[in-house]
Structure 1
């Protein structure tokens, strides 16, 4: 095989709220820690054991960064795809350090919010998924677009919504129960 693959897929919970920093160019960089936990039953004692791994995640993709910044909080469950990257830096004491991070590049990567609506970790209207440089594809309207006096009902007639919604509002009525 002549090529190689550097792809990381993680499902876990945020260990801290996303932190947004700006590069000299003005572009946002979002970072947070993600905990993945492996559970098993000890064969000798029969008790439940857990091992948690912590991953530093850095997002350079503008769309993914906005989703993380607006909708992710400490404890939020997410699915993400990125690449491993190791970089060197000097700490405050002048010591040379190395760190390995899961990086979601500008045109690669995926971030999917897995918490259910009303799960207590921010109301973002359900699952959201953004890929690469793609658009946010919410199954329902975002909290800012949703009418305050009339929450959207999953069982209402979608065709009447499509006819009355006008151009540019199709994303608000797309059914999110599609099995793929």
Structure 2
């Protein structure tokens, strides 16, 4: 079986970082990924894809990514369900990132320790 997704797009908002009850970091963000064709009006459309990142990589994404930044995500598609406040069953599709590469250039010199843990996550911002 194979479940692999590779995306390149821009963040639609800053990553949202939270911690589980056990202290594990989890970040969520949405990537706007352009479609490879134009619509009938000659405009490019985009898909807005939800991404979830765990652990040290989640903290790094929260620290170094922001709205409008270009990022590449390599991961797998996960579909889960939950019960909404109205009692209805809801389904959510999101990409569980295994690696995230920061594709936008850094604006300025980073503070000391800027790459702590990034090598473990498989990324170095450039």
Determine the structure 1 residue equivalent to 2:76.
83
Gaps of 5+ in 1: 140-180
- The alpha-carbon deviation at position 136 of structure 1 amounts to 5.1
Contact persistence 1:78–1:111 (CA under 8 A): yes
1:13 correspondence with 2:7: no
Q: Quote the Cα distance in structure 2 between the aligned partners of 1:16 and 1:96.
A: 27
Determine the structure 2 residue equivalent to 1:95.
88
Q: Which structure 2 residues correspond to residues 21-170 of structure 1 after superposition, within 5 A?
A: 21-40=18-37, 48-60=42-54, 62-104=55-97, 109-118=98-107, 123=108, 130=118, 133-134=120-121, 137=124
Gaps of 5+ in 2: none
Structure exhibiting the larger radius of gyration computed from Cα positions? 1
Name the SS of the counterpart of 2:58 in structure 1.
helix
Instruction: Say which structure is richer in strand.
Output: 2
Q: Quote the Cα distance in structure 2 between the aligned partners of 1:124 and 1:6.
A: 38
TM-score (normalizing by structure 2): 0.81
Name the SS of the counterpart of 1:48 in structure 2.
coil
TM-score (normalizing by structure 1): 0.59
Name the SS of the counterpart of 1:66 in structure 2.
helix
Name the SS of the counterpart of 2:59 in structure 1.
helix
Higher relative contact order (Cα pairs below 8 Å, separated by 6+ residues): 2
Contact persistence 2:8–2:72 (CA under 8 A): yes
Number of residues of Structure 1 aligned to a counterpart in Structure 2:
120
RMSD over aligned Cα atoms: 2.4
